[in-house]
């Protein structure tokens, strides 16, 4: 597989101008007269991160020749929904509150984190209702529902070592890949029409999102906090069974399996991620998960085949590669 | 002031049939293939409660002669947004988790409560994007934003004894009355047009919502859990300064004020509500708050004046009275 070269922002050069517009819209949307809200949204700017989902709206718009004046707003809406999910992901339960620091909910408490996420969702939907076409509202409201169901399913499968790789992918498709799919579909067909091309790009986005999630789960096991700029090992701490671990568990003997379960479930132990690596060799599970992510991205690249050559299409392909080669 | 007679469901007789349709839509909307989601939404049915906001959509529709086939769906959407706010109101912080029981977040933990609220919001917006007019999406997305800002403002004013009655009302107008206003405006003018009548009914709804919040705050001080079917004294426990307390504090001497502050803020004490009543006579503050609620309802009734006589208008007036005379 060709590997991407250069930083993400270099890859996004073909949509640099609309990305700036997207960021300006985002900034304007989260601005509020309320000082309390301003204080919080100011803090959340650190979450902006890669803005990959917004960029996908713009890149697929360009690569399909479908760009409109409203694409930057659609991209901002997609990013706001993503931000809302990030803020809500940080809501913690009693035990976890004591363990972690520096999320929104640590600075302001859980209640305010819930409200800030709700505010971001509301802003996103309010902006979408102002656009000329209802497609954005319709697609993103439905996507948000799917995304919530995926998260709920995931939370009920915690500590479920018998979960199949298929179940893992179906949950990841809902909770993560659905927003990637919506971003690519909206880029390709907003404000409407073009159903077939939309479906094709949605499939590419879904594959890409799934690959993104798998790599995210691998990095949660292998990366340092410095490398990825967020807490690591949280999946092991929270009992989330991810693909590399499920692969490893699936091919382990019963004694190793029991030891793995113990690492996840024994109360009040520190550093579960390090203990997991002491308990079992995860290398093959990790390699297999990464191979699966690469396979998904190859398939995603296949969906792009009918698009005419253009800098945007090349950039899109590079972003697809970036997702599986990233170390952050 | 005339007092309402009969139970709320008797008062709502003129819209009994569309209320049933609203409930059927609500049930269908929260139904999900996901067993995990079904389990949770089944539990949340206990929150359905008075369904006052949905009923207001239907009553104002009837009373203004504006009822359409879609009013029941609009009412269901308003109720889903209200339900989402209730579920998110139950998200607790570490200390509170230990104190309270039996909310959604107790049965499933905070994270699942956040997701269920998000799911209900998403369902509400998704349904609104399917209606023939965008007015419902537009008005309710904006209302949800206002509502979140109100809640955020409130959370930053905890333990603020110097808050004015004006600030209290402005926060309550945002966090509670905005949804009442939207319900009445949508009833009167969905799918569109009728801007003037819509504004008039929105004003009536806003006053009613404010009165509802003031009475809610009085009941949190005076009612028993059995009477109102939910935890009481939570405002005192959580440091929320409500109108009866602000009135009392405003006319107390400095020594009593210090004692009141102590009841709210001293760490690790039990039964703050009972202690507050031991510390200060709240009767006049409560009476003044109730008088303010009655004044607001009288004003709300004034907004109804131009409507032609009808069973729906009579029912609407009775519901307005119910809000200030209720003991639940």
Segment A181-199, tens digit of pLDDT:
999 999 999 999 899 999 9
Closest CA to B36 of A121, A267, A175: A175
> What confidence tens digit (pLDDT) does each residue in A114-145 have?
998 999 999 999 999 999 999 999 999 999 99
Question: Using CA atoms, how far apart are residues B126 and A90, in angstroms rounded to an integer?
Answer: 25
Question: Using CA atoms, how far apart are residues A118 and B117, in angstroms rounded to an integer?
Answer: 9
Closest CA to A313 of A56, A73, A23: A56
Length of chain B: 328
* Helices (H), ranges, A223-328: 225-228, 234-238, 243-250, 254-265, 272-279, 283-303, 311-325
B271: left (phi over 0), alpha (psi -120 to 50) or beta: left
Nearest to B152 among A93, A115, A156 (CB): A115
> What confidence tens digit (pLDDT) does each residue in A268-325 have?
898 999 999 999 999 999 999 999 999 999 999 999 999 999 999 999 999 999 999 9
* Helices (H), ranges, A90-164: 94-99, 104-108, 110-128, 135-156
What pLDDT shows up at residue A98? 43
What pLDDT shows up at residue A42? 72
> Over 60: is that where the pLDDT of A103 sits?
no
Query: How near does any CA of chain B get to the CA of A310, in Å?
Result: 35
Angle at A146 between CA A142 and CA A152, to 5 degrees: 145
ipTM: 0.91
Question: Using CA atoms, how far apart are residues A183 and A82, in angstroms rounded to an integer?
Answer: 11
Nearest to A149 among B37, B111, B137 (CB): B37
Closest CA to B19 of B73, B84, B83, B65: B73
| Contact at CB, A97 and B93, closer than 8 angstroms | yes
Q: For every one of its 328 residues, what pLDDT tens digit does chain B have, with 9 covering 90 and above? A: 344 456 888 899 999 999 999 999 998 888 877 787 887 777 666 556 789 999 999 999 999 999 999 999 999 999 999 999 988 887 765 445 444 444 555 556 788 889 989 999 999 999 999 999 999 999 999 999 999 999 989 988 999 999 999 999 999 999 999 999 999 999 999 999 899 999 999 999 999 999 999 999 999 999 988 887 777 898 999 899 999 999 999 999 999 999 999 999 999 898 999 999 999 999 999 999 999 999 999 999 999 999 999 999 999 999 999 999 987 6
Nearest to A109 among B88, B93, B111 (CB): B93
Angle at A51 between CA A49 and CA A55, to 5 degrees: 160
Question: Using CA atoms, how far apart are residues B177 and B299, in angstroms rounded to an integer?
Answer: 14
Burial of B261 (0-12, 13-18, 19+ CB in 10 A): middle
Nearest to A148 among B108, B119, B134 (CB): B119
Nearest to B122 among A94, A129, A141 (CB): A141
Q: Which of A26-35, A257-266, B82-91 has the highest mean pLDDT?
A: A257-266
Domains with residue ranges and CATH for chain A: 8-325 (1.10.600.10)
| Contact at CB, A152 and B37, closer than 8 angstroms | yes
Query: How near does any CA of chain B get to the CA of A154, in Å?
Result: 9
| Contact at CB, B148 and A122, closer than 8 angstroms | yes
**Torsion angle, alpha carbons of B101, B38, B152, B246, to 10:** -40
| Contact at CB, A149 and B110, closer than 8 angstroms | no
CB A238 within 8 Å of CB A306: no
What pLDDT shows up at residue A2? 42
What pLDDT shows up at residue B230? 76
Which chain B residue has the Cα nearest residue A96?
Answer: B94
| Residues of chain B contacting A44 with CB distance shorter than 8 Å | none
| Contact at CB, A93 and B88, closer than 8 angstroms | no
| Residues of chain A contacting B114 with CB distance shorter than 8 Å | 88, 91, 114, 117
What pLDDT shows up at residue B260? 98
**For all residues of chain A together, what is the average pLDDT?**
90
| Contact at CB, B126 and A112, closer than 8 angstroms | no
Output b/e per residue, B104-135; b: 16+ Cβ within 10 A.
bbeebbbbbbbbbbbbbbbbbbbbbbebebbb
What pLDDT shows up at residue A92? 64
CB A209 within 8 Å of CB A195: no
Which chain A residue has the Cα nearest residue B89?
Answer: A111
Question: Using CA atoms, how far apart are residues B317 and B310, in angstroms rounded to an integer?
Answer: 11
| Residues of chain A contacting B126 with CB distance shorter than 8 Å | 138, 141-142, 144-145
| Contact at CB, B148 and A115, closer than 8 angstroms | yes
Query: How near does any CA of chain A get to the CA of B255, in Å?
Result: 31
3-state helix, strand, coil in chain A (%, to 5): 75, 0, 25
| Residues of chain A contacting B116 with CB distance shorter than 8 Å | 148, 152
Query: How near does any CA of chain B get to the CA of A9, in Å?
Result: 32
Lowest mean pLDDT, pick from A50-64, A75-89, A94-108: A94-108
> Over 50: is that where the pLDDT of A97 sits?
no
Query: How near does any CA of chain A get to the CA of B203, in Å?
Result: 21
Q: Confirm whether pTM is higher than 0.90.
A: yes
* Helices (H), ranges, chain B: 8-11, 16-30, 35-44, 52-63, 71-89, 94-99, 104-108, 110-128, 135-156, 165-172, 178-189, 195-222, 225-228, 234-238, 243-250, 254-265, 272-279, 283-303, 311-325
| Contact at CB, A153 and B34, closer than 8 angstroms | yes
What pLDDT shows up at residue B47? 56
């Amino acid at each position: 597989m060709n590997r991407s070269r250069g930083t993400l922002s270099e890859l996004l050069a073909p949509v640099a101008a609309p990305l700036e517009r997207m960021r300006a819209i985002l900034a304007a949307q989260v601005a509020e007269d309320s000082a309390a809200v301003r204080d919080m949204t100011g803090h959340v700017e650190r979450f902006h991160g890669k803005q990959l989902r917004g960029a996908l709206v713009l890149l697929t718009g360009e690569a399909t020749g479908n760009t409109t004046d409203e694409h930057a707003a659609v991209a901002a809406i997609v990013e706001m929904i993503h931000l809302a999910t990030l803020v809500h992901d940080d809501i913690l339960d009693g035990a976890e509150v004591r363990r972690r620091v520096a999320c929104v909910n640590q600075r302001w408490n859980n209640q305010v984190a819930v409200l800030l996420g709700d505010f971001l969702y509301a802003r996103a939907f309010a902006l979408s209702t102002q656009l000329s076409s209802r497609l954005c509202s319709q697609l993103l409201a439905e996507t948000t529902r799917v995304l919530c169901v995926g998260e709920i399913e995931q939370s009920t499968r915690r500590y479920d070592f018998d979960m199949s790789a298929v179940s893992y992918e179906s949950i990841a498709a809902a909770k993560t890949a659905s927003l990637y799919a919506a971003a690519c579909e909206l880029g390709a067909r907003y404000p409407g029409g073009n159903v077939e091309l939309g479906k094709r790009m949605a499939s590419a986005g879904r594959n890409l999102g799934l690959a993104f999630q798998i790599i995210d789960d691998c990095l949660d096991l292998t990366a340092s906090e410095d490398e990825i700029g967020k807490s690591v090992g949280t999946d092991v701490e929270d009992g989330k069974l991810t693909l590399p671990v499920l692969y490893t568990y699936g091919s382990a003997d019963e004694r190793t399996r029991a030891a793995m379960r113990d690492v996840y479930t024994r109360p009040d132990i520190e550093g579960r991620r390090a203990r997991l690596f002491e308990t079992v060799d995860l290398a093959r599970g990790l390699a297999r998960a990464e191979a699966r992510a690469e396979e998904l991205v190859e398939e995603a690249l296949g969906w792009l085949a009918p698009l005419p050559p253009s800098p945007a299409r090349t950039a899109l392909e590079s972003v697809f590669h970036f997702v599986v080669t990233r170390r952050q």
